[in-house]
Amino acid sequence: MTLILRDKTSLRAWRAKLTGGARLGFVPTMGALHAGHMSLMAQARGAADTVIASIFVNPLQFGPNEDLSRYPRPLEADIDKLEAAGVDALFLPSVEDMYPAGASTMVEETMVSGPLCGATRPGHFRGVTTVVLKLLNLVQPHVAVFGQKDAQQCAVIERMVRDLDVPVDILRGPIVREADGLALSSRNVYLSAEDRAAAPLLHQSLRAVEAAYLGGEHDAEKLAGIGLAVLAQSDRIKPQYWEVRDPESLGAIATVGARGALLAVAAHLGTTRLIDNLLLSGDV
């Protein structure tokens, strides 16, 4: 049975009892768990002796007009999934416990967080880095696992951990998809039937650009144009960005060279914002 730790005091007491030689794996989440999350739990289990997850819908990473109030919170179902996966413990803190009255310290990465979602969701990554550093300080894991679907989040966290000398190994879990290619996301439940039918075009746009790249097209602007043309097949999709970026720094590039590239797309379908990405190898 998964042990539920509802505050920082309980978490610290549990962590203090773990034997020194055992490796601890950590998977932070906002809940509404799906098969993508469960693959991260399995990856953590393969890299550690004990696995702890967290569920915390972090208010700092939501903008004023975003979906904090309606973000899905199926807690009982989430706990059942964690128990079925053999997760040893769940950290389930309150907002008041994580951010005591008067809290005035934030953590901000200032380069990797700038483009893509950083340009369209101001303050989002500051909220992410603040809560992730707090969680890493509290849990003190040897390894933490994050999903590649949020590629920029992974890059920001990796940079923060490097820059601040946080003693943890960051692993990325591969994107898990529906049969039609749509990346699993807790927000997919918001999609209407019509928007759900159009949503696989995000992945199709990435694959079309990958095919063009493998066919010899390396110009970043032309590749992005190919991706946008695929999204234009549905008027239900309102692109926010479709970009070809350096895979590590996320800086702008003119051509895809030896380092490869990250293809990144964000779009609105109705009121739902979806993201997806694909890594291009640089050895073509």
Task: Give pLDDT tens digits for 207-245.
Answer: 999 999 999 999 999 999 999 999 999 999 999 999 999
Of 268, 239, 243, 241, nearest to 66 by C-alpha is: 268
Is 37 marked as a binding-site residue? yes
Cβ neighbors of 244 (< 8 A, separation 6 or more) are 209, 220, 221, 223, 224, 253, 256, 261, 262, 263, 264
Cβ neighbors of 81 (< 8 A, separation 6 or more) are 33, 37, 38
Is 268 marked as a binding-site residue? no
Is 33 marked as a binding-site residue? yes
Output the average pLDDT for the chain.
Answer: 97
pLDDT digits (tens, 9 = 90+) for 19-42: 878 999 999 999 999 999 999 999
Tokens representing 71 are 């973000």
Is 140 marked as a binding-site residue? no
Please give the share of the chain, as a percent, with pLDDT higher than 70: 100
Is 203 known to be catalytic? no
Dihedrals phi, psi of 272, to nearest 5 degrees: -100, 130
Q: How confident is the model at residue 192 (pLDDT cuts 50, 70, 90)?
A: very high
Whether the model pTM is above 0.95: yes
User: What pLDDT sits at residue 284?
Assistant: 66
Is 204 marked as a binding-site residue? no
HEC letters along the chain: CCEEECCHHHHHHHHHHCCCCCCEEEEEECCCCCHHHHHHHHHHHHHCCEEEEEECCCHHHCCCCCCCCCCCCCHHHHHHHHHHCCCCEEECCCHHHHCCCCCCCCCCCCCCCCCCHHHHCCCHHHHHHHHHHHHHHHHCCCEEEEEHHHHHHHHHHHHHHHHCCCCCEEEEECCCECCCCCECCHHHHHCCHHHHHHCCHHHHHHHHHHHHHHCCCCEHHHHHHHHHHHHCCCCCEEEEEEEEECCCCCCECCECECCEEEEEEEEEECCEEEEEEEEECCCC
Is 186 marked as a binding-site residue? yes
Task: List domains and CATH numbers for the chain.
Answer: 3-173 (3.40.50.620), 188-279 (3.30.1300.10)
Is 30 marked as a binding-site residue? yes
Of 11, 76, 24, nearest to 50 by C-alpha is: 24
pLDDT digits (tens, 9 = 90+) for 72-84: 999 999 999 999 9
Q: What is the mean pLDDT of residues 110-137?
A: 97
Strands (E), 137-271: 143-147, 169-173, 237-245, 261-269
User: What pLDDT sits at residue 240?
Assistant: 98
